[in-house]
Amino acid sequence: MLVNSFSLCYHNKLILAPMVRVGTLPMRLLALDYGADIVYCEELIDLKMLQCKRVVNEVLSTVDFVAPDDRVVFRTCKREQSRVIFQMGTSDAERALAVARLVENDVAGIDVNMGCPKEYSTKGGMGAALLSDPDKIEKILSTLVKGTHRPVTCKIRILSSLEDTLSLVKRIERTGIAAIAVHGRKREERPQHPVSCEAIRAIAETLSIPVIANGGSHDHIQEYLDIEDFRQATAASSVMVARAAMWNPSIFLKEGLRPLEEVMQKYIRYAVQYDNHYTNTKYCLCQMLREQLESPQGKLLHAAQSSQEICEAFGLGAFYEETTRELDARRAELLARTPEEAADPAQDTSDVIKMAVKFDRRAYSPQITPKMCLLEWCRREKLAQPVYETVQRPLDRLFCSVVTVAEQKYQSTLWDKSKKLAEQAAAIVCLRSLGLPEGRLGEVSTSLHKRKWEAPDQDPGGPRAQEPAMPGELCKKPFVALGSGKESSLEGW
């Protein structure tokens, strides 16, 4: 039997399961704090990862894998490097190996998802769809074992018969993988169906490699001691916890569950420190609150539209401000060392009107933004539509935009987290310079209310919704990453 070289041990471990939208860096670090030995990232699709560029984020002290649309697909840090498992969704051996080689120096192990029954995973022949193609399973795992320096594992579900399941896992073991995680339900079963401890036990007694038991949150695991009971019931080497950890990550703590308020505040602190997108932070907190979503705090969380508002809802407003100042200071220090990277988006800045402004969405109507006001004014004045030119700074991946209106350029001197926010700031500079309304709360522009306008910025942490393009949108210039020499695709309003 082939054995890949590795140092990570899968015996007698408490493991945070891969969970879509939940297994991002803040949750993984929180699970480690509370006693998890190994943490899995959420399933990430091979095709998406292969579009990513590895970026060292010196401001956050992280390694980011960044998609062409500038969304951070996977973020990790040194703290978890020896204990984080990268789980991919794949249906192709060569693509899987390419992804493994892309991330292997930043993670402790590589896992292939062969158990997810959801359509987003199975429609491309990934996840549980692989269970019906043992030849493909063998090729993917064998290729990974031979081609990467990290331990390779996979996560499966049980098949319709125990005989078929045992036949499959024995074939999987022969590929040389380090361990196998088994969700004790069939592909068509859901959490309300009982988990089959007997099937997991049979697998554990058949194989010589570690078997990781999964699927016990609904029936078996409500507190720390239940994890060991589940391990003994399945005869597994280790236990992987999903929903029970999502509800309260302190499930891994020997001393018992911590109060939810304390856990959520600790999670929020990590989310702010590592610049987690607020929509992802909000989603994870909602999973923790569950039946308390209708409480006063739950309603504040539901209404929050930024990381700052989430912090304020949990009494962490001062922490947010302090952390933001620290990150800004670190960013300024790094820029001082590399002044050439602080380049201005405008080639010639002599005729650019500048102001230090930012777009704070809380100060504007959800249906009206400065860009809309500027476009409407240009139409009324029969001027050419505003043209935005946006650049991204490599050091901290912040954006700055210049808008040209009637041959005059306008720019905010403050760099922002997204292309959209930078463009809104540039529009504000133009409108204020011209003494025009910018759409702030309390301002009235009847012509704008008659139109169907843009929604607030979409979540860059998840699939982007299709946004309506305004007439003439395609005349906008694409943003350019400074130093890259390459153009990126246009983003919507």
pLDDT of residue 426: 97
Instruction: Given the residues 116, 197, 311, 400, select the one marked as catalytic.
Output: 116
pLDDT of residue 199: 98
DSSP state of 71: -
pLDDT of residue 447: 53
Name the band, by pLDDT with cuts 50, 70 and 90, for residue 337: confident
Residue 5 in this model has a pLDDT that exceeds 70: no
Q: Is 303 exposed, middle or buried (0-12, 13-18, 19+ CB in 10 A)?
A: exposed
Q: Under a CB-based contact definition with an 8 Å cutoff, are residues 483 and 345 in contact?
A: no
Angle, in degrees to the nearest 10, between helices 260-273 and 317-337: 20
DSSP state of 416: B
Residue 200: closest CA among 180, 224, 218, 175: 180
Q: What is the pLDDT of residues 220-233, one digit of tens each?
A: 999 999 999 999 99
Q: What is the pLDDT of residues 231-279, one digit of tens each?
A: 999 999 999 999 999 999 999 999 999 999 999 999 999 999 999 999 9
Cα end-to-end distance, the chain, whole Å: 55
Q: Which tokens go with 281?
A: 């932070």
Q: What is the pLDDT of residues 38-83, one digit of tens each?
A: 999 999 999 999 999 999 999 999 999 999 888 899 999 999 999 9
Q: Which tokens go with 475?
A: 């005349």
Edge-to-edge order in the sheet of strand 53-57 = 53-57, 62-66, 72-77
Mean pLDDT of 90-96: 97
Phi-psi label, residue 157: left if phi above 0, alpha if psi -120 to 50, beta otherwise: beta
Name the band, by pLDDT with cuts 50, 70 and 90, for residue 186: very high
DSSP state of 393: -
Distance between CA atoms of residues 257 and 462, nearest Å: 30
Across the chain, what does the average pLDDT equal?
87
Pairing, β 109-114 against β 84-89: parallel
Q: What one-character-per-residue DSSP string does 81-123 give?
A: TTTEEEEEE-S-HHHHHHHHHHHGGG-SEEEEEE---SHHHHT
Mind listing the domains of the chain with CATH numbers?
13-255 (3.20.20.70), 259-336 (no CATH), 352-434 (3.30.160.20)
Q: Is 475 a catalytic residue?
A: no
Which residue has 């996977």 as its token pair? 74
Strands (E), 264-407: 352-355, 387-392, 399-405
pLDDT of residue 344: 57
Q: pTM, whole model, 2 decimals?
A: 0.78
Q: What is the pLDDT of residues 138-176, one digit of tens each?
A: 999 999 999 999 999 999 999 999 999 999 999 999 999
pLDDT of residue 340: 52
Name the band, by pLDDT with cuts 50, 70 and 90, for residue 452: very low
pLDDT of residue 348: 60
Residue 215 in this model has a pLDDT that exceeds 50: yes
Residue 92 in this model has a pLDDT that exceeds 90: yes
Strand partners, 153: 111, 179
pLDDT of residue 183: 97
pLDDT of residue 394: 81
pLDDT of residue 36: 98
